[in-house]
Chain A
Amino acid sequence: MKTRYHLISWLMAVSLMFISGCMEDDMRPVTAFVTSGNGVFIACEGNFMYGNASLTYYDRESREVTNQAFLQANGIPLGDVAQDLLMHNGLLWVSLNNSGKAYIIDPNSFLYKGKVSGLTSPRHMLPVNENEIWISDLYSGHINVVDANSFEVSGQISLNRDASTTHNAEQMLRYEDKVICNAWSYDKYLFIIDPATGEVSDSIETNWQPKKICLDKSGKLWALCDGGYEGSPFGHEPASLQRIDPDSKAIEATISFQDDATPTDISLNSTGDSLYLINKHVYKLPITTMDTGNHIISGKGHNFYSIMAHPQGVFLSDAGNYMDPGFVYVYNGNSEMQDSIKTGIIPVDFAIE
């Protein structure tokens, strides 16, 4: 009797080992891709600390969508919080803010080609010349200079003239022989940098938190300032759009939005004479006026997040509830929707192949 119970209990224990099962960690089959060469890459930010950033590819000819292209091609996730896309020398660069790196990808196969690692909190990228990419950083107070061929960090450019100030670069753009960058986080300055010396040559004070910048065809700089948030120790004001003369550093005009407005992005059209603005709805204003007029695309039922105007269409992202896969809508120049693409979580940036 005793032996029987002994045996039964052990049989039960051992049999459980067979039903306990294996967990499916790292089971990620890879797929080989060959793109048409006529597509759009969409970086999907994902949620902070969820590691669910992804890359979506939209083939403009076949209208086929490949989500999680990098994961499918390489068997590894893209990382945490995708921030920016850059097509340079036939390679696609993706900066990953909370993974401290940028991946360099073959756009034809989505295969990994290299990475820039050891970054603190990379944000945006700018090719300063064929062999040099600048990568801004949210925390470190400097811009990383990266060799576009070896993918090694070759230098740093500090925005801080002394130890008592901390400015962190966000977006960067070329203006004549200079680079202009905005310092967004708890800041209100644009900095003008001489790429030859890597020195800050001048600065322009804007409204609070210049989040996005772009340069129109007449050489005027547009800054979308989000105004900070209520209760911010650095100040808070309504969001605004400013037009700036980068030569005289004069603020030529300002549109102040309503107190509760949260404009998220601006983009110039391909000819540089009209500005698209997301402020709940989408507006299009000529660069010569400061009147947003009526919206051209209604944001009702959407959370429009970013926009890119291109000769082949206007790409508008909808972050939805910010926690589920979003959408990108493709419009023609007459603001007629051509296509709707389901993407990853929070589609944030675009790159044309």
Chain B
Amino acid sequence: MTNRILAYLFVSLLSVSGIAQTQTNDTITLGEVTVEANAEIGDLSMLRTQIDSLHISNSMHTDMSEVIGENTAVFIKQSVKGSVAGMSLRGTNSTHTRVSWNKLPLNSPLHGTVDISQLPFLFTDDISINYSAAGMMMNDGALGGSLELSTRPEWNQGINLEYAGAAGSFLSFDNYLKFNWSGNKISYSGRAFHSSSKNTFPYENNDIIDGGTQIRQNADFTTYGLMQGIHYRPSPRHFISLNGWIQSGNRGVPGLSTNESGENNNLSRQNNDKLRAVLAYKWQKKDFVTEAWSGADLQRNGFITRNYISGTGRFISIDSKNRTASVHSGLSARIHLSGKHRIKAMVRHTYQHAHSEEAIKSIRYDASRHDVFFSGSWEYRLSDKWHIHSLVKEDVIEGEFHLPNAAVTVSHKSSKNLSFIGSLSRNMHHPSLSDLHHVPGGNPDLLPEASITADAGMHYTGPGKLKWKHKLNAYVRDITNWIMWRPTPQGYWQPDNIESVKTTGIEYSGNLKKKVGKSQVDVRFSYALNRSVNTSTGASLFSGTEGQIPYIPIHAANFSPTYTWKSWQISYQWNAYSERYTTSNAMPDVLYSIYPYFMSNLHLSHRIVCKKYKLTLTASVYNLFNESYRSVLWQPMPGINFRFGVKFNLL
């Protein structure tokens, strides 16, 4: 209660502060605005969610799990900050979310997932989440959708220097530095970050007898990295770019709150090193664009569990390491046959290799695979109102041809403000190297997952000065041969194909902007309903019902009003997820489900602009109402906590 009162006082204080500032004069300095012409004939933008980097530029974000978790209705499964974060799109699991950076796929060849807490926000300029047909051409296996990240060159901007530093509760520190230089032909960007936290937050452990107030142990993390990007355009028709990213990290893996093995037992840690680079070439003239790119993603990961036995000493019970290499190349060509037709063809090749070993049990395996993807699309403008986009994609996995994937999308622009879209697609996701070859448990007989999805949506932009937008989408998807890891009587887990999973959902996002004098209100709201049910024969034998797939919330919502007055900005962020079930019986229960999640954060920023530089001061309150909660079973989360930051831009 005390904390809640404090939180209200904090808000009131900010309010008073805001009102007081009305007596001063200042100017609003708008951030960089990118205006992009719609280059597509068959408009797929309604199947995309673009995260507005300008909207979130005033809060100090470090990794992508924070950005997406706070600004969309997408469910991120993560315990404490810095821990492994999986992203689920449209009722699927994290292996069905494909992630790419400058066209380089980032999903681990071993597990097929991406830990999005390891994607630094700083290393990307554009963030888009693509669904169905919008993500199929560039990504393989994106049954849920894809997260596409890219850097964007500046031209003729000279030197641009940006530094940001933040310090927060529980000894959390974030620093990043960005140096850009651009002329007419060369654009360079160098970025570096360091992020760490002890995560030693107090919590009430009511999960054991005599738990009392405890300090979270072994939840610390440190991660740092460097990105270099250079773009060269020798002429307006030629573009060459080279982007590289190196990153290293180390983190504790906190135990469950029920663990009483002692502070020196079962201490697990993870470390990871990543090296990513992609070279791209683009040549374009009026009606023709061709691109070629090639890149590699090299990763090294380790997991170790240490114990200490009185009288025996220290010993290691698990010492596993893996190295993965993914080399990806692609070639695409796009041609406008006329103002009405456009054809695109693409071929991509990926070589994946994984080496995994566990030193204590001397378990090791190596696995590799060549994947080739051919795809072609045709876009047709039937009239000013009707657009058609179709694509066909063929997956050749280790020399084996599969049934082609395809998508047809029809969009209708009913008026200047109102558009509709409908899409039907078939897509496929192939088992990862770990699914097939893991020791023990790998299942070489696994079949690829296949989905058929129908989408429908509308987009409405309100007329007049009040800028309001509504986007509504609905989908139905049937996934056959869904791959699920399950325990076995032998004591290890093993993946299996489950016959059928049906996912259905509705997504809404709305945005209202109103500017009055020197004030601006920007309200964003998004909601997603995702039903994801195992409809296999006999699935309900044990679950009793056709229950929701574990860890997929049925309801997810995000509400974010931002108020800007002169150089001050305050934004409130509210995120909610409905109950998440950890078994498929979808039964509300302390042991089998996690109660609904409601989280409130508050960000305040103030910008000081001088002739030569811009300074932004930020203050953030997380878990505003000091909720005692968890987002993963038996993993406590921190109460109210704060972060203060400063951002410096050389103008």
Interface residues of A (CB under 8 A from B): 1-2, 5-6, 8-10, 12-14, 16-17, 20-26, 28, 46-52, 54, 68, 71, 74-80, 96, 98-101, 112, 115, 117-121, 139-142, 156, 158, 186, 226, 229-234, 262, 264, 301, 303, 305, 319-327, 344-346
For chain B, residues 281 to 332, give those with C-beta under 8 angstroms from any C-beta of chain A: 307, 309, 311-312, 315, 317
* Cβ-closest chain B residue relative to A231: B439
Q: Taking the complex as formed, is B91 at the interface, i.e. its CB lies under 8 A from any CB of chain A?
A: no
Contact with A along B80-96 (1 / 0, CB 8 A): 00000000000000000
The total number of A-B Cβ pairs within 8 Å is 230
A233 and B259 in contact, given A25-B629, A77-B207, A100-B266 (Cβ under 8 angstroms): no
Q: Taking the complex as formed, is B125 at the interface, i.e. its CB lies under 8 A from any CB of chain A?
A: no
* Cβ-closest chain B residue relative to A21: B598
For chain B, residues 585 to 613, give those with C-beta under 8 angstroms from any C-beta of chain A: 585, 589-592, 595-600
**A118 lies within 8 A of B591 (CB):** no
A52 and B307 in contact, given A13-B561, A16-B600 (Cβ under 8 angstroms): no
**A99 lies within 8 A of B19 (CB):** no
**A2 lies within 8 A of B265 (CB):** no
**A139 lies within 8 A of B307 (CB):** yes
Return chain B residues, CB-CB under 8 Å to A71: 590-591
- Closest approach, in angstroms, between the C-beta of B441 and any C-beta of chain A? 8
**A51 lies within 8 A of B597 (CB):** no
* Cβ-closest chain B residue relative to A303: B489
Interface size class of B (residues with CB under 8 A): 35 or more
Report the stretch among B361-369, B408-416, B503-511 that lies at the interface. B361-369
* Cβ-closest chain B residue relative to A9: B563
Partner of B361, one of A1, A76, A99, A186: A186
Q: Taking the complex as formed, is B20 at the interface, i.e. its CB lies under 8 A from any CB of chain A?
A: no
- Closest approach, in angstroms, between the C-beta of B589 and any C-beta of chain A? 8
Partner of A119, one of B22, B261, B317, B492: B261
**B542 lies within 8 A of A140 (CB):** no
Return chain A residues, CB-CB under 8 Å to B27: none
The complex places the Cα of A13 from the Cα of B488 at a distance, in Å, of 50
Q: Taking the complex as formed, is B53 at the interface, i.e. its CB lies under 8 A from any CB of chain A?
A: no
A47, A51, A326, most chain B CB atoms within 10 A = A51
Return chain B residues, CB-CB under 8 Å to A345: 583, 592
- Closest approach, in angstroms, between the C-beta of B307 and any C-beta of chain A? 5
A51 and B258 in contact, given A1-B516, A156-B312, A324-B584 (Cβ under 8 angstroms): yes
* Cβ-closest chain A residue relative to B516: A5
Partner of B541, one of A13, A78, A140, A320: A320
A20 and B600 in contact, given A2-B517, A262-B489, A323-B550 (Cβ under 8 angstroms): yes
The complex places the Cα of A52 from the Cα of B550 at a distance, in Å, of 14
Return chain A residues, CB-CB under 8 Å to B445: none
The complex places the Cα of A301 from the Cα of B364 at a distance, in Å, of 34
A-B contact pairs, 7 of them (CB 8 A): A14-B11, A22-B627, A25-B628, A26-B204, A100-B266, A121-B266, A229-B440
Partner of A233, one of B11, B363, B538, B541: B363
- Closest approach, in angstroms, between the C-beta of B469 and any C-beta of chain A? 18
Return chain B residues, CB-CB under 8 Å to A98: 256, 259, 266
A232 and B363 in contact, given A76-B209, A326-B542 (Cβ under 8 angstroms): yes
- Closest approach, in angstroms, between the C-beta of B595 and any C-beta of chain A? 4
- Closest approach, in angstroms, between the C-beta of A9 and any C-beta of chain B? 5
* Cβ-closest chain A residue relative to B625: A20
The complex places the Cα of A156 from the Cα of B262 at a distance, in Å, of 17
A115 and B629 in contact, given A13-B572, A140-B309 (Cβ under 8 angstroms): no
- Closest approach, in angstroms, between the C-beta of A270 and any C-beta of chain B? 25
The complex places the Cα of A176 from the Cα of B404 at a distance, in Å, of 68
- Closest approach, in angstroms, between the C-beta of B216 and any C-beta of chain A? 15
The 7 closest A-B pairs by CB, nearest first: A100-B261, A320-B542, A51-B634, A117-B260, A322-B487, A229-B440, A324-B542
